[in-house]
């Protein structure tokens, strides 16, 4: 099969694209998918460097989410059937023309969603929905501060936050990215390159501050969040796209009665699959009704996976970057 292959933890520059990789074996309760598109995530770049929670044996293909058609199901699988259009999460192996994953991680694609958009859906929408609904417990009328608001999870947090009835303050770098956040419903915009996040949030809320914060960025954005939340506010730690893991001064948590909640969505696929199912039931209902609009700024062929990953790392993309598997195989550029 066609696949992007990682043979060492030397980063994305060491990836190769081949057309003779062995197909993954079927697993118990497994579903084999003919992959049409695969979403690129920051975690994929970490996995290629051996810096992610999951360290697969060599050789492996990165990629945590796919969309395509079901080719085969294991005995006893009733969730989907061969020929179904599906999206799915995988522990790794998504950058390939075939993937096998547990049936509990496979979801039917609504009729109004194409494969590219479906490949951009599971992780970012899943993360933001569980994060906002079950972890932060965002309520109508609350002020929600979203960092990295034009990125994959950030943009879905803006969209879902508005769906939940929050007033959304979005931070991003530059007018182009802020325009995307505004298009997806952000009520107020902060350009962190030119504006002080803490001061602007205070101005926008008449000195009160944000009730809750969704933070996939870390670094100075997290530091600002500590100082611009209300008494008893909540901060959700989703990731560290800035490259800096913040060190939290506990005295601020004490004085302001703040709750800082760590959230790794991927673990919940094993820890609480029923929660993931409930989340996707609601998300896919919203999608079928036309209430969600997955945003894909760039699409690359599988052979250009390195370019797609660098596009994400350079912060030149908005929403999601997606790979497609249909073109002829060739070397990575």
Domains assigned to the chain = 3-121+294-324 (3.90.180.10), 127-266 (3.40.50.720)
For helices 122-130 and 152-163, what crossing angle results, to 10°? 50
In order of 158, 160, 164, 275, 286, the CA distances from 293 in angstroms are 12, 11, 16, 23, 10
pLDDT on residue 66: 98
- Distance from C-alpha of 320 to C-alpha of 298, rounded to nearest angstrom: 7
Q: Is the peptide bond before 281 cis (omega within 30 degrees of 0)?
A: no
- According to DSSP, the β-strands at 167-172 and 143-146 are parallel
pTM over 0.85: yes
What does the block give as tokens for 95?
A: 């950058």
**What are the average pLDDT values for consecutive 10-residue runs of the chain, which has 333 residues?**
96 95 96 98 95 94 98 96 97 97 96 97 98 98 98 98 98 97 98 97 98 97 97 97 93 97 93 95 97 97 97 95 71 35
What does the block give as tokens for 263?
A: 């959230």
DSSP string, 177-243: HHHHHHHTT-SEEEETTTS-HHHHHHHHTTT--EEEEEESS-HHHHHHHHHSEEEEEEEEE---TTS
The runs of H, that is alpha helices, within the chain are 42-47, 115-119, 122-130, 152-163, 175-183, 197-204, 219-227, 250-256, 268-271, 273-288, 305-313
- Distance from C-alpha of 229 to C-alpha of 188, rounded to nearest angstrom: 16
pLDDT on residue 53: 87
The C-alpha angle 162, 110, 279, rounded to 5 degrees, equals 50
- Distance from C-alpha of 154 to C-alpha of 290, rounded to nearest angstrom: 20
pLDDT on residue 269: 87
Residue 265 phi, psi (nearest 5):
-60, -40
CB 233 within 8 A of CB 211: yes
């Amino acid at each position: 099969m066609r696949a992007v292959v990682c043979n060492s933890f030397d980063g994305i520059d060491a990836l190769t694209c081949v057309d003779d990789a062995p197909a993954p074996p079927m697993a118990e309760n497994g579903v084999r998918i003919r992959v049409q598109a695969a979403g690129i995530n920051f975690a994929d770049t970490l996995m290629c460097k051996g810096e992610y929670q999951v360290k697969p044996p060599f050789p492996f293909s990165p990629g945590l989410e796919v969309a395509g058609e079901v080719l085969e199901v294991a005995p006893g699988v009733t969730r989907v059937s061969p020929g179904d259009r599906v999206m799915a999460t995988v522990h790794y192996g998504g950058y390939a023309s075939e993937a096998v994953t547990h049936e509990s991680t496979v979801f039917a694609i609504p009729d109004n969603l194409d494969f590219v958009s479906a490949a951009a859906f599971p992780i970012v929408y899943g993360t933001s929905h569980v994060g906002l609904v079950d972890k932060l417990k965002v309520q109508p009328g609350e002020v929600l501060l979203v960092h990295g608001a034009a990125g994959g999870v950030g943009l879905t947090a803006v969209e879902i936050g508005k769906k939940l009835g929050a007033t959304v303050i979005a931070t991003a770098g530059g007018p182009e990215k802020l325009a995307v956040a505004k298009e997806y419903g952000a009520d107020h915009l902060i350009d962190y390159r030119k504006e002080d996040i803490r001061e602007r949030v205070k101005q926008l809320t008449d000195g009160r501050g944000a009730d809750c914060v969704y933070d996939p960025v870390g670094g100075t954005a997290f530091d600002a969040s500590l100082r611009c939340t209300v008494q008893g506010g909540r901060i959700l730690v989703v990731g560290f796209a800035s490259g800096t893991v913040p060190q939290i001064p506990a005295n601020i948590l004490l004085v302001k009665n703040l709750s800082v909640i760590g959230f790794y969505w991927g673990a919940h696929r094993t820890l609480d699959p029923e929660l993931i199912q409930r989340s996707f039931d609601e998300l896919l209902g919203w999608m079928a009704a036309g209430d969600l609009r997955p945003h894909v700024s760039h699409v690359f062929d599988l052979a250009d996976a390195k370019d797609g990953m660098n596009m994400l790392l350079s912060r030149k993309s908005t929403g999601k970057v997606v790979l497609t598997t249909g073109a002829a195989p060739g070397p990575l550029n």
